[in-house]
Amino acid sequence: MINSKTIFQVDAFADEAFKGNPAGVMILDAPLSEDWMQNMAAEMNLSETAFCCAQR
């Protein structure tokens, strides 16, 4: 079974595309382990990667 997730690459600190600092943003349904998030950030190869999780 494939467990897919979506990660967005955004241009932080910019009001135009392809300007500013590239950053990864992933919205999670539930918190994941710190190791998993660090591995995902390394895989994205961006200087900044953020993980957001909405608690219900």
Catalytic residue list: 48
Q: In Å, how far from its chain's centre is CA 8?
A: 6
Q: Is 43 helix (H, G, I), strand (E, B) or coil?
A: helix
Q: How far is CA 39 from CA 6, 12, 42, in A?
A: 15, 21, 5
